[in-house]
Amino acid sequence: MIGVLVSGEGSNLQALIDEGLPIAAVASNRSDAPALVRAGAAGIPSAVFPLDQHASREERDEAMADWLAGLGVQWVVLAGYMHLLRPSFLERFPERVINVHPALLPQFPGTHAIEDALAAGVRETGATVHYVDEGVDSGSVIAQERVAVQEDDTVDTLRTRIQVVEHRLLPKVVRELCAR
In the complex, the smallest distance separating the C-beta of residue 161 from ligand GAR, rounded to whole angstroms, is: 11
| Per CB under 6 A, 11 contacts ligand GAR | yes
| Per CB under 6 A, 126 contacts ligand GAR | no
In the complex, the smallest distance separating the C-beta of residue 65 from ligand GAR, rounded to whole angstroms, is: 20
The residues near 7 (Cβ < 8 Å, ≥ 6 apart) are 28, 29, 30, 33, 35, 80, 81, 82, 83
Q: Which of 4, 85, 100, 169 binds ligand GAR (CB under 6 A)?
A: 100
Nearest CA among 46, 151, 39, 160 for reference residue 102: 160
Q: Which of 12, 28, 29, 125 binds ligand GAR (CB under 6 A)?
A: 12
Cβ-proximal residue to ligand GAR, closest one: 80
Answer for the pair 109, 87: CB distance below 8 angstroms, yes or no.
no
Q: Which of 30, 92, 96, 101 binds ligand GAR (CB under 6 A)?
A: 101
Residue spans of beta strands (DSSP E) within 21-150 = 23-28, 46-48, 75-78, 97-101, 124-131, 141-148
Q: Of the two residues 125 and 163, which places its CB atom closer to ligand GAR in the complex?
A: 163
First to last CA, the chain: 13
Footprint of ligand GAR (CB under 6 A): 8-12, 35, 79-80, 100-102, 111, 113, 137, 163, 166
